[in-house]
Structure 1
Amino acid sequence: MAKKRYVICGVSARANGMFIRAMLDTYQAHCEIVGLLDADPARFTNCFNKFPALAGLPVYPPERFDDMIRETKPDVLIVAGADHTHADYIVKGLELNLDVISEKPMVTTGEDCRRVLEAQRESRGTLHVAFNYRYAPIHTRIKELILEGRVGRVTSVDLNWYLDTYHGASYFKRWNRKRSRSGGLSIHKSTHHFDLVNWWIGQQPVEAFSYGALHYYGSQGELNPSPKDGRHCGTCQEKTQCTYFMRWSSRSKETQPPDDHLGNVEVKPSSYTGYRADACIFDSDIDIEDTYSAVVKYDKGALLSYSVNFSLPYEGYRLAINGTRGRIETQETVSGRAAFTVPPQTIDYYPLFGGKETIHVVPRPGGHGGGDPLLLEDLFLGPDPLRSYDILAGAEAGAASVLTGEAVWTSVKSGRPVRLNELLGTAAEPAQTKGG
């Protein structure tokens, strides 16, 4: 089988750690990287320093996208830059009948969802969205239990997600803190969670109502050492008074806790031109929320009760899925940064009538609960022929998760329930497209 030719739009930490490293190591026999595109030349230098084998590879600024395609003749486009850049590259790739792999979130607005869905319907290429959480062994087992009929028809889901004071705060140090670039955290982060629920229960979200607020970060944060803008952790004169910073350091030595996110939480300032990833979490220009509580209604009657909080003592989630024949429960706590002993994650199954069953799942190594390596296998080798159900996410799944996230923050701002179809600009719910 001939190698497929790949170009990468957005040479980010995720592109380096998730895709490029795997393509040069595990999938070298199947992949050839033929071009890189980014608005910042420093990212090319950073990439070549990490991966000397790529030195000399053609590089392009965004305005030379068409030149890159003509000169490198790729088969596949990988989109991994800042969220707000995804839509244009995805649409252009599909219009050229290329296959496209996009980091999540697929895009940041309902309008861009519409553009991508239309491009996918007309394209001979296929879009895959890299929802790695689906592939974590605990999550695939939950899907299998539902497919086996153990809970019957799903009626409701309770999902509470917690981010600790390291990971949660990191979003407010970086570009994610501007809604114009990330869509807000109900899109940038919560699309992971909404996609999991959508995929697990096999229903389409149609409406959301939510409350949300900026409680911890921004200039009004209760733990702000002083009302100043423009500070950076690396040079801040007040960091010893910042409880968020000192939670992970001491006065004599700055340390970093274990990071399961490919090193993309803390990035050296020299990695970029004119941008630092250690901006102050108490700056006044932060315009997104750090806390949400939402209810989502589905087309087959299920209801999701969802909350997420970006400043908690530990990280993880609690999940319950209820159905006409039983209930599934599980709880995850990220062990690397927890200040207490964390037991292995299990799934508890309660039939509607009968005794409790505790299911132990064999863990796998790798990021995102062992999901990253399995996702990469499907992306670069094709779907696992031994798997009996669809797991790779396509344009429809990407749109459903983004539209849910936009409905959540739109509801926060408007104080009313928001139907997903109004964000898509259509009178009907999103139509099915290939890729699931």
Structure 2
Amino acid sequence: MDNQKNGRRIFLKNTTMAAAAVPFSLSATDFKDESKKGSKGKTKYALVGTGTRGSSSWAKPIIQNYAQYADLVALCDINIGRMEYAKKFIGTNAPTYHSSEFEKMISETQPDTVIVTTTDCFHEQYIVKAMELGCDVISEKPLVTEAHQGQNLIAAENRTGKKITTTFNARFSNESEEIKKILNSGELGKVLSAEYHEYLNVDHGASYYRRWHGKKRFSGSLLVHKASHHFDQMNWWLDSEPVTVKANGKVGFYGKNNSFRGSNCRTCTFKSKCEFYWDIESYGSKELYLSGEAEDGYLRDGCVWDKEIDSYDAMTVEVAYENDVLLSYSLNSYMPYEGQNIAFNCEKGRLEVRVYDAQPWEVDNVFEFRITKNFNGTKAYGLGRDSGTHGGSDDKLRDKIFKPNQPDELKQMADSRAGLMSSLIGIAAVKSIETKKQINIHDLVDFPTEWKWKTKLK
């Protein structure tokens, strides 16, 4: 247990100082030289946060698939060992900078855009500083983990005139696009209420509790980290924004809910009896984490029974929207199978969608659709999943971001407002659970009357 505590202390100390160590003091005029463009006019990108998502989904694809449009000019992370391994994995000669050298990185490499893929709770600090130093920002979800961070983003975006793109790849999956098209068609009339139920199985679900995601201080809870995808999808499908949120949640399966626990799987004395033992040697990106483990004490194969786990594993949320739609949402992260049940109850009938991600039985289609009219029968059909990560949605999103002049008929590109709205539903849900009260979204943040980037969207 002493090793567990010491490792955690090192990680907490270093991650807490990740953004605070940066000497954020100068302004955009001290840095940006508009005469310094990428080679042949390409957009210049810097990546801050070189974990799996940043390295695999953003930096490496820039090198491999978008080199004619983009230059990767810098990498930044708090963990030097991990960043050096990531540099080799990515296949780049871009210079590397410790998080305390963030301003130096901007000054020396002159990126047009900073891609932020750090631990969730630090997104806001890097986003704000990047904009203050003259850069646009691409950020992974969730955009923020606390309401005051959202207020800071609103102020910074309006103050600097720079823009934030929130990367909601879930908007680009085949079933998500199909739902949007059906609702846009008006075939079922006005949506009156909606249902969204997320099932994470004991493989994928448990993985969140082995990592920093299981601690609310880092992730905001799965209601912010994971559910921000789902809340954004619903906001986008309904073309509306949330007004009130009421939620319930608990840690009923992981964390303290076991008779034994260890520091991490590799060193655990209970590995032979624990059904959740996970061998990091089987993990494709193991060296990305093992290479930096001694530096900050972060254990990628942490124990799912850690008593400090406080991110809910069972949760329900009720959301009322501006357009009077009522949403019933749930997420359970310890299920025997994985997928989603999504439904829209409309004036003229009901749309039901079943998403199969992993289950101990065969299915003909991973996406099952059923449209039932009130007085005109029913029809069912299926769709398949495209190749590529997250069912091809990552490729679609990256094409929109990196390739010039891409159409956006379904309005899938998400700005700061979309990112903030999805985060705020999760933040409000956590606050509702903690206070046992209904939360008004507009009590969390003072919204401007005009959102600047709205006028820039094509």
Partner of 1:181: helix, strand, or coil? helix
Q: Give the Cα separation in 2 of the matches to 1:321 and 1:266.
A: 44
What do residues 383-435 of structure 1 show as CA deviations (whole Å, max 9, x unaligned)? Answer: 632x42311111001110111001111111111101112222x3x69864525
Residue 419 of structure 2 aligns with which residue? 398
Change in Cα spacing, 1:430 to 1:402, as seen in structure 2 (3 Å) is: farther
Number of the residue aligned with 1:342: 363
Contact 2:171 2:177 in 1 (8 A): yes
Q: Please give the per-residue CA displacement for 1:120-149, whole angstroms capped at 9, x wherever unaligned.
A: 223333211111000001101110111111
Asked if residue 15 in structure 1 is aligned to residue 54 in structure 2, the reply is yes
- Match in the other structure for 2:318: 295
1:190 to partner: Cα distance: 0.6
SS at match of 1:308: strand
Equivalences for 1:88-127 in 2 at 5 Å?
88-127=125-164
Whether 1:54 and 2:92 are equivalent positions in the alignment is yes
TM-score by structure 1 length?
A: 0.89
CA change 1:95–1:32 in 2 (3 A) is same
Q: Counterparts of 1:368 and 1:12 in 2: how far apart (Å)?
A: 17
Cα deviation, 1:343-381, whole Å, max 9, x if unaligned, reads 311321123331212244353211222211100101111
Partner of 2:453: 434
**CA–CA distance in 1 between the matches of 2:204 and 2:186?**
36
User: Higher helix proportion, which one?
Assistant: 2
- Residues 256-276 of structure 1: CA deviation (Å, up to 9, x unaligned): 5xx9xxx67996433443211
Tell me, in whole angstroms, the C-alpha distance in 2 between the residues paired with 1:112 and 1:311.
30
Q: CA 1:305–1:92 in structure 2 vs 1: closer, same or farther (change >3 Å)?
A: same
CA RMSD of aligned residues (A): 2.2
Counterparts of 1:49 and 1:309, CA distance in 2: 37
For structure 2, the residue ranges without an aligned partner over 5 or more in a row are 1-39
Percent identical residues: 31
Match of 1:27 in 2: 66
Bigger RCO of structures 1 and 2 (CA < 8 A, at least 6 apart): 1
Structural mapping, 1:155-234, within 5 Å? 155-219=192-256, 221=257, 224-226=258-260, 228=261, 230-234=262-266
Alpha-carbon distance in 1 for matches of 2:409, 2:317? 32
**1:235-278 deviation digits (Å, cap 9, x = unpaired):** 21201211223xx78xxxx985xx9xxx6799643344321111
Cα distance in structure 2, aligned partners of 1:430 and 1:406: 22
Change (3 A) 1:429 1:413: farther
Distance 1:370 1:208, change over 3 A: same
Contact 2:246 2:437 in 1 (8 A): yes
Q: Which of 33, 36, 42 is the matching residue for 1:3?
A: 42
Would the aligned equivalents of 1:78 and 1:100 in 2 still touch at CA under 8 Å?
A: yes
Compared with structure 1, are the counterparts of its residues 267 and 218 closer, same or farther at alpha carbon in structure 2 (3 Å cutoff)? Answer: farther
Quick one: which amino acid aligns to residue 111 of structure 1?
A: H
Tell me the equivalent position of 2:36: none
- The secondary structure found in structure 2 opposite 1:235 is coil
TM-score, structure 2 as length reference = 0.85
Gaps of 5+ in 1: none
1:235 aligns with: 267
Residue in structure 2 matched with residue 147 of structure 1 by the alignment: 184
| Whole-Å separation in 1 of the counterparts to 2:314 and 2:216 | 15
Residues 1:92 and 1:243: Cα distance change in structure 2 (over 3 Å): same
